[in-house]
Amino acid sequence: MKSVVVTGFGPFGPYASNPSTEVVKNLGKVGLSGVDDVNLITDLMAVDYDEVDKKVHAYWNDHCPDLIVHVGVHGVLKTIKLEQQSTGDGYCRADVCGKVPTENKAPNLEKNDTTMISSIDCVEIANRVAKEMAQKCSTLKVEPSYDPGQYLCAFSFYISLCHDKSKALFVHIPEFDDEITLEIITEALQLIIKEIIVEKEQKTVV
């Protein structure tokens, strides 16, 4: 059975209710219909460098995931972004506890490249999901991205990429509105995960 871990973030800054919290909770309820033999694990992390450091390592050590998808909110309306890479330094923005990482760096930076790139094809996955979602919500965009920022989103993603860059992805989601609803974003996230699983299975067969 495949193990898929999906995480969201708690409140911070202007987001008293973080959309990633709602999406990950909803995904945990509705599951991944249409995908066989998947153990879906959903969890939330505080916007806290120390907690994220501990929890991300624990997800990998405890669950040995076939795929881990971190989900966070960004300010680009009506747009989902699949992040292709992340950085290990430049974390100068304080978390909800008022702290930053030591020397503003992610753990184990010295053992890995400063920029870590996922081997998941975000361009192809984004294109396929965008086409399917267009039939249900024409205003939703799904795009690849190469700039996850330098806050907890990128920090969590970098740690996961250092564990296994073929099994890690970060998805940035927008705030909800009348068209871009919780249900629409959840469905898009389901499709993203399904497409990655299908792609991995095809590569295994080949």
**Which residues are catalytic, by number?**
83, 153, 172
User: Measured between alpha carbons, how far is 186 from 125 in angstroms, rounded to an integer?
Assistant: 16
d(CA 126, CA 145): 10
Contacts of 85 (CB under 8 A, 6+ apart): 115, 116, 117, 118, 146, 148, 161
Which residues make beta-bridge pairs with 112?
A: none
Q: Give the integer Cα–Cα distance in Å for 68 and 40.
A: 10
Query: Which 8-state DSSP code applies to residue 75?
Result: S
Whether the CB-CB separation of 172 and 10 falls below 8 Å is answered with no
